[in-house]
Structure 1
Amino acid sequence: MPLVLAALRRARILEEVRRSGGARVTHLTTLLGVSDMTVRRDLEVLDRQGLLAKVHGGATAMETASAIEPGFEITSQRELREKEVIAARAATLVHPGMAVAITAGSTTWTLARHLFDVADLTVVTNSLKVAEVLHAQQRRDLTVVLTGGLRTPSDGLVGPIAVQAIRSLHVDLVFMGVQGVDERAGLTTPNLLEAETNRAFVDSTRRLVVLADHTKWGKVALAHIAPLSAVSTIITDDRLSSEAAEVLADQVAEVIVIPTGDDEG
């Protein structure tokens, strides 16, 4: 009987999340008449099954179409702990005097907030969110180059104007966030123009650093950016499966797996 009750409860949670696009733990506990710990465990199970996306304080519906691009407000609430530790490790690759590029995305936006102490830094970005973080620092030794272009739902600037600006530059590192990482499809995004813009970033450097938490593995979005072999370094978290880690190790020069220290149930 408990197994049946759990299945019914999770079906109800899934129905509510899909109907509203998302739901908070507090709402679900009231709706179902159970403890927040029970709801959190249910969300964890449904997240592992790929039926919804567990976020801080609740869950959001999972996009099923490869051409659907989630907005920044949605992605910025997912896998918060994972993004934080990935971004902190990525920041250690940036040294004073470097010129680096940062693509659009919530993980790369988190990285920008870890660059406060890097002196004499030049950042090229097509992300309005990243530019906002960096401009807020009001530093004389920080130069921010915003590419321009057409605005995406994730607040990235893409298209011919962005591509032309990026192709005129060379940077020491490119930090890239992606929608999907797959053994065969490589790096992908739902946005065709963003794929073209990101390919220009790949061509602008000798070192491509991909920031991708474990949920990105196995996902294939509409547009191809680059094969895994083009990636110099990928930084991910320790919830990545061992099978995925082995595949990445075979195709990517450097794989950095960061412990999250997150034991939330």
Structure 2
Amino acid sequence: MLARQRQEVILDEVRRTGAVQVGELVQRLGVSDMTIRRDLDALARRGLVEKVYGGATSTIGASTDEPGFEAKSVRQLAEKEAIAKLAVEQVQPGSAIGLSAGTTTWTLARELDEVPDLTIVTNSVRVADALQQRGRVDRTVVLTGGVRTPSDALVGPVAVQSLRSLHLDLVFLGVHGMAPRAGFTTPNLNECETNRAFAEAAGRLVVVADSSKWSTVGISTIVDFDEVDLLISDQGLPPDARELLGEHVELLLADRRPTEEDE
């Protein structure tokens, strides 16, 4: 198969699923790891894909573009893990916490093993699955809704109404973007309403967002900077962003662990 043919196959798969992994492409196309990486480099130079650790995802476009969970789950892996380890330090035993949908909150869910006696409220199918797979013996409340979004969030009036009757000690909110004037945003209008209800139910509101979210703007604002108690991001956040955010919200920056991608 010629390089152009391989790249068309890769691009079709990215458009269909939102993300590809190098290892899967090696097996499917019967070529070497380095050949696939060169193909991804070529597609990235043309602006057709975004390279990430171990593969590539679709490029981020307009304010209503919403990559699926699989596409987002392979982005900024080291940063999300570092953020999750810092975020779990905010959780006290015996508390009631909320986890919105998203790959960072999903990563955090897998770090909650050592915190006992939690009541966890989530509208995320993926978060609920992660908690169940890790054998939590305490209570997990899964909100129902009428719509399942590309990020596998359950949203709608039933979920919003349920949240309005709850009082949570701590809510971790995942976001699509954060930017001056826009605040913390999402590309999904339905999910925005549910996330706003999460924020209103929070005794303390913590946004977890890696530095790649800076200057990204979704169509709808969930909360403004001033409405958030704590933002946990990573050391990749630019100096101007740190200064601006620091004027509105407490800021914690996690140190990512080096990966093969850095070598």
TM range (shorter): 0.7 to 0.9
Label 1:139 to 1:63 Cα distance change in 2 as closer, same or farther (>3 A): closer
Q: Which runs of 5+ in 1 are unaligned?
A: 1-12
Tell me the distance in 1 between the aligned counterparts of 2:82 and 2:149.
26
1:126 paired to 2:85:
no
Q: Which amino acid aligns with 2:242?
A: A
1:235 alignment partner, SS class: strand
Asked if structure 1 preserves the Cα contact closer than 8 Å seen for 2:124 and 2:153, the reply is yes
**Aligned positions of 1:131-146 closer than 5 A:** 131-140=128-137, 142-146=138-142
* Superposed CA RMSD: 3.2
For residues 24-63 of structure 1, what are the alpha-carbon distances to aligned partners after superposition, in whole Å with 9 as ceiling and x for unaligned? 55769x9999958x859969xx69xx87433221221212
1:255 paired to 2:219:
no
**Aligned positions of 1:76-225 closer than 5 A:** 76-140=73-137, 142-149=138-145, 150-225=147-222
Label 1:41 to 1:166 Cα distance change in 2 as closer, same or farther (>3 A): same
Partner of 2:240: 243
Tell me the distance in 1 between the aligned counterparts of 2:7 and 2:40.
13
2:111 alignment partner, SS class: coil
Tell me the distance in 1 between the aligned counterparts of 2:12 and 2:165.
46
Tell me the distance in 2 between the aligned counterparts of 1:234 and 1:244.
12
Q: How many Å apart are 1:121 and its aligned residue?
A: 0.5
**What percent identity do the matched residue pairs reach?**
46
Tell me the distance in 2 between the aligned counterparts of 1:210 and 1:14.
37
**What is the TM-score with the length of structure 1 in the denominator?**
0.83
Q: Which amino acid aligns with 2:70?
A: E
Partner of 1:8: none
Tell me the distance in 2 between the aligned counterparts of 1:261 and 1:122.
30
2:233 alignment partner, SS class: strand
1:71 paired to 2:68:
yes
Tell me the distance in 1 between the aligned counterparts of 2:33 and 2:53.
19
2:112 alignment partner, SS class: coil
Asked if structure 1 preserves the Cα contact closer than 8 Å seen for 2:40 and 2:56, the reply is no
Q: Which runs of 5+ in 2 are unaligned?
A: 1-5
Asked if structure 2 preserves the Cα contact closer than 8 Å seen for 1:53 and 1:78, the reply is no
Tell me the distance in 2 between the aligned counterparts of 1:228 and 1:104.
19
**Aligned positions of 1:9-28 closer than 5 A:** 20-21=13-14, 22=19, 24-25=21-22
Q: How many Å apart are 1:241 and its aligned residue?
A: 1.2
Asked if structure 2 preserves the Cα contact closer than 8 Å seen for 1:17 and 1:61, the reply is no
**What is the TM-score with the length of structure 2 in the denominator?**
0.83
Tell me the distance in 2 between the aligned counterparts of 1:17 and 1:215.
24
Tell me the distance in 1 between the aligned counterparts of 2:207 and 2:177.
11
2:190 alignment partner, SS class: helix
Q: How many Å apart are 1:205 and its aligned residue?
A: 1.3
Tell me the distance in 1 between the aligned counterparts of 2:90 and 2:156.
28
Partner of 1:56: 53
Partner of 1:5: none
Q: How many Å apart are 1:260 and its aligned residue?
A: 0.9
Tell me the distance in 2 between the aligned counterparts of 1:17 and 1:210.
34
Higher mean C-alpha deviation, range 214-223 or range 130-139: 130-139
For residues 155-213 of structure 1, what are the alpha-carbon distances to aligned partners after superposition, in whole Å with 9 as ceiling and x for unaligned? 11111000000010001111010101111100111111110000001111131101100
Q: How many Å apart are 1:242 and its aligned residue?
A: 1.2
Q: How many Å apart are 1:262 and its aligned residue?
A: 2.4
Higher mean C-alpha deviation, range 237-246 or range 85-94: 237-246
Label 1:138 to 1:32 Cα distance change in 2 as closer, same or farther (>3 A): closer
